Each structure stands twice: as structure tokens, then as C-alpha cells.
């Protein structure tokens, strides 16, 4: 059974997806075509309120919780206390793209709307969610929306965290109208499953010409800041054997860590994205280099193995050369597995409807990783053209957006109507 081909109107409605994405993404649009909806900003609030009106106008119960997560509830006829929660986040990075977060909200809204129009109320409750925050662009924390639903954060956390202007999260929240006295607590105990659809932000689907990615794992991350001390000296008068050249040693390390990663496992990704040398002058040997290291994989022991080996190699070489090294670990996030049954079901649905699908690992963080430790969770991707993300150049083809909604309709049907 292919739900959307049964009636021409359904197909017509799916075709609305691009229009609706453009509509929601237009809130906070910048001159460059990028979007700015930082948490609790004016544009953010306008977007949430406009979305609330649209949800309401389509027959759902629309409500906010006290941190500003927006819900559209379609109560179940048989299991109203078992909620299938589906959606994504409304906030953006600074000058972000149109699809990141927005597409997931629109897809969930559209799929639920079509199901409701066709089949009436589901057996299990479906709630669409527009999560208030995921990116960490305004305040130095991420997943404020999903974190409050799942109990990772509480309102107390909002007091001490400040934006670059010194405004606390609590103050910004109140200023946007979100008073715990007026709204219900964000914490939930009734979530039966969380289903998130999102753009890939990578190029695997685009390069493999696949419409849907079913995510098995969201990777674990390790981040380090590595500082090598050398000896700053004259580039002309210091023979090579007498040198303690920090740029040269950093290069040796970066070459080593890259080659090692390539050999160890095809799903391992490592990045040195930042490098700074001192004094950074052409004719002076560098006395100090600091570089970042970002390591990601879905298998925690493999992350341990890789990082331990690097640390041992760096330490022994630096000791041998009498060039002190400081390896500062500042992020350690464990991999999160998506629910295997839910993920398998999403793939079955796609295959049933002749929509290309493949398994994927998510190299980026998503709200699904917060839910993944709290309830059965599935994360589905649609392609990002050339993998471009967090940029006004972000783009997903209309056909892929439609395929995403097409899969989600049938997937939510399986989860909530059968």
C-alpha cells in the first residue's frame, strides 16, 4: 500500500514541502540569504508563533512548554499516553542554511497533517515538535530543547549560562515570554519514540545518489587541543640538527594522525581544523604550535584505541626530541545508537515505496542523540547537495524533500495507526 498514491490530493500536498520549508526558513533571513534564528531572539519567536498558528489552523492542539519547545498534538484514540514525538529544531547557527532543522519540523507537520486528513486520529498520540534549541550558537550549550524534555537539563542550568553580551539564558527566556509559571514543565514521561528527519550535512547521500539515510549511530567525539613547544631561532643560522622546530614537528604529527586514521577504519574521521604558530614569521623557526584535533567514530573502544595510540606516539617522540607537548582533551561524547528496530522499519518503509535508502552513521550531533539515551529513537536523513551545511549555500533537491515526507507519512502510519 502506498498511502500517497491513493489520492492525488496527497501527492499535491507533499509537493507543498518546499514552499513550507521556504516559508519557515524566511523568519530571520539575512541579506546573504542565510537564516538567523538564535535562541529566544525576535526572529526565533516570530517563527515559533507563526508555526503555532499554522499547527492550530490544521486541527492540532498547539502548545509551548516553559522553555519554548512548541508542540502540535494529535491525540491517540487507543494509547493517548504513548506519544510518538517527531520533529527537529527551529534555531540556526549564525547565517545558517534553510533546511537544517526546518525541514525536519515541516516534514513532521506535513506528514501528520496528511495522515490526519486521510485517517483521522491515530491509535497512539502523535506530537509534532519544534525544539527550541540545538545548535549552541547563542549560548555555550547545545540541545537545550531536547535536553529539557529528557531531563538532561533543568531550568536551574539557565541561570549561570550567558551569551556574549552577558545576558543569561534565564533572562533571555523570560524576555521571550517563557515563564515557568505560565507554561507546563518541559520534562516528559510519555514519549514512546522520537523520530527526527534532518538534512545529512554530509555528502554520502548526494555522492551515492540516495534519497534516504537511515542512521544506525550518531558518532562519539573526542576533541583535543595539542600544544608543542619548540625553540624560536634564526632560520638561516640554525643547522637542522640543532633545531626544535614546532611547525615541522606539528606537521609530522598531523601527517601521522591522518594516515593512521585512513588505515584504521573507513568510518573514522579525524580533523585538524585549526593551527596557530608562534611567532609565525617566515624567517624565524616556530617556537610554539597549537593545533586542534577532532576525532569521531561510532565505536567507543575504537576511539579509545586510536586516541591512546596517538597520545603514546606524540609523547614518546616529543620526549625523544626534548620538545614538551601538552595534549588537552576537552570533549568526550560517547556514540549513541539509534533504535535498531525503528531504524530497520524506516528502511523497510522506504524500500516498500521504491525510495532509495542506505544505512549511515551521523558524524554530526543531533537532538536524536539526546533522545537516543532516553527512548527508542530513529534519525532519518535526506541529502545535502555537495554536503554543504551551516551556510546559505545549503541545498536539498525538491524531489529529496518530497521523498523524505513520503517515507515519513508511511513510517508514522506504521508507528501510530497500526
Is residue 251 involved in binding a second copy (CB under 8 A)?
Answer: yes
**Span 72-91, contacts to a second copy by CB under 8 A:** none
Enclosing H/E stretch for 192:
strand 191-199
Gap between the Cα atoms of 46 and 175, Å rounded: 14
Exposure of 283 by Cβ count < 10 A (0-12 exposed, 13-18 middle, 19+ buried)? exposed
Q: Kindly determine how many residues on this chain lie close enough to bind a second copy according to the rule CB under 8 A.
A: 63
One of 192, 294, 300, 414 touching a second copy (CB under 8 A):
294
- Inter-CA distances, 175 with 141, 166, 321, Å: 19, 14, 56
Q: Does 242 bind a second copy (CB under 8 A)?
A: yes
3 state DSSP class of 99: coil
Binding flag, residue 363, a second copy (CB under 8 A): yes
In the bound state with a second copy, the residue whose beta carbon lies nearer, of 275 and 337, is: 275
Q: Are 382 and 158 in contact (CB under 8 A)?
A: no
Asked if 365 is part of the footprint of a second copy (rule: CB under 8 A), the reply reads yes
**Of the candidates 268, 342, 407, 408, which one interacts with a second copy according to CB under 8 A?**
268
Closer residue to a second copy (CB): 73 or 390:
390
Please tell me whether residue 269 binds a second copy under the rule CB under 8 A.
Answer: yes
- The C-alpha cell 545548535 sits at 135
C-alpha cell at 400: 529529496
With binding defined as CB under 8 A, does residue 11 bind a second copy? no
21's enclosing H/E stretch is helix 17-25
Question: What does the per-residue mask of binding to a second copy show for 154-193, with x meaning CB under 8 A?
Answer: ----------------------------------------
Interface region with a second copy, contact rule CB under 8 A, candidates 43-51, 108-116, 339-347, 358-366? 358-366
Residues 6+ apart with CB under 8 A from 4: 10, 11, 14, 114, 406, 409, 410
Chosen residue from 272, 317, 337, 344 binding a second copy by CB under 8 A: 272
What secondary structure letter does DSSP report for 385? G
In angstroms, rounded to a whole number, what is the distance separating the alpha carbons of residues 325 and 317? Answer: 10
Cβ atoms of 112 and 72 closer than 8 Å:
yes
Site membership for a second copy, residue 234 (CB under 8 A): yes
The correct pick among 29, 168, 233, 299 for binding a second copy (CB under 8 A) is 233
Task: Identify which of residues 94 and 159 has a Cβ nearer to a second copy in the complex.
Answer: 94
Binding site members: 89, 100, 135, 198, 223, 283, 296, 390
Amino acid at each position: 500500500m502506498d498511502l500517497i498514491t491513493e489520492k492525488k490530493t496527497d501527492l499535491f500536498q507533499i509537493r507543498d514541502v518546499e514552499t513550507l520549508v521556504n516559508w519557515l526558513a524566511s523568519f530571520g533571513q539575512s541579506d546573504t540569504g542565510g537564516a538567523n534564528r538564535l535562541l529566544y531572539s525576535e526572529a526565533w519567536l516570530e517563527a515559533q508563533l507563526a508555526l503555532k498558528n499554522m499547527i492550530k489552523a490544521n486541527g492540532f492542539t498547539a502548545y509551548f512548554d516553559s522553555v519554548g519547545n512548541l508542540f502540535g498534538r494529535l491525540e491517540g484514540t487507543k494509547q493517548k499516553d504513548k506519544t510518538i514525538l517527531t520533529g527537529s529544531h527551529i534555531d540556526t547557527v549564525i547565517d545558517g542554511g534553510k533546511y537544517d532543522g526546518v525541514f525536519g519540523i515541516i516534514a513532521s507537520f506535513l506528514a501528520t497533517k496528511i495522515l490526519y486528513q486521510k485517517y483521522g486520529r491515530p491509535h497512539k498520540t502523535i506530537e509534532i515538535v519544534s525544539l527550541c534549541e540545538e545548535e549552541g550558537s547563542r549560548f555555550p550549550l547545545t540541545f537545550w530543547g531536547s535536553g529539557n524534555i529528557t531531563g538532561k537539563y533543568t531550568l536551574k542550568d539557565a541561570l549561570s549560562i550567558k551569551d556574549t553580551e552577558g545576558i543569561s539564558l534565564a533572562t533571555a527566556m523570560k524576555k521571550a515570554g517563557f515563564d515557568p509559571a505560565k507554561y507546563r514543565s518541559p520534562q516528559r514521561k510519555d514519549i514512546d519514540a522520537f523520530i527526527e528527519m534532518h538534512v545529512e550535512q554530509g555528502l554520502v547521500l548526494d555522492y551515492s545518489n540516495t534519497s534516504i539515510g537511515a542512521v544506525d549511530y550518531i558518532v562519539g567525539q573526542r576533541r583535543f587541543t595539542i600544544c608543542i613547544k619548540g625553540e624560536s631561532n634564526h632560520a638561516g643560522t640554525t643547522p637542522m640538527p640543532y633545531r626544535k622546530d614546532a611547525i615541522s614537528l606539528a606537521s609530522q604529527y598531523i601527517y601521522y594522525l591522518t594516515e593512521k586514521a585512513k588505515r584504521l577504519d573507513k568510518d573514522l574521521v579525524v580533523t585538524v581544523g585549526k593551527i596557530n604558530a608562534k611567532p609565525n614569521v617566515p624567517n624565524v623557526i616556530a617556537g610554539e604550535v597549537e593545533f586542534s584535533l577532532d576525532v569521531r567514530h561510532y565505536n567507543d573502544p575504537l576511539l579509545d584505541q586510536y586516541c591512546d595510540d596517538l597520545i603514546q606516539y606524540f609523547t614518546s617522540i616529543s620526549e625523544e626530541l626534548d620538545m614538551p607537548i601538552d595534549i588537552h582533551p576537552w570533549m568526550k561524547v560517547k556514540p549513541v545508537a539509534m533504535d535498531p528496530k525503528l531504524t530497520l522499519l524506516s528502511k523497510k518503509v522506504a524500500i516498500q515505496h521504491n525510495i532509495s535508502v542506505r544505512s549511515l552513521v551521523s558524524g554530526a550531533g543531533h537532538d536524536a542523540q539526546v533522545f537516543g539515551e532516553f527512548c527508542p529513537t530513529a534519525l532519518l536523513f535526506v541529502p545535502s547537495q555537495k554536503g554543504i551545511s551551516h551556510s546559505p549555500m545549503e541545498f536539498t533537491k525538491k524531489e529529496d524533500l518530497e521523498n523524505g515526507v513520503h517515507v515519513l507519512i508511511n513510517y508514522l502510519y506504521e508507528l501510530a495507526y497500526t
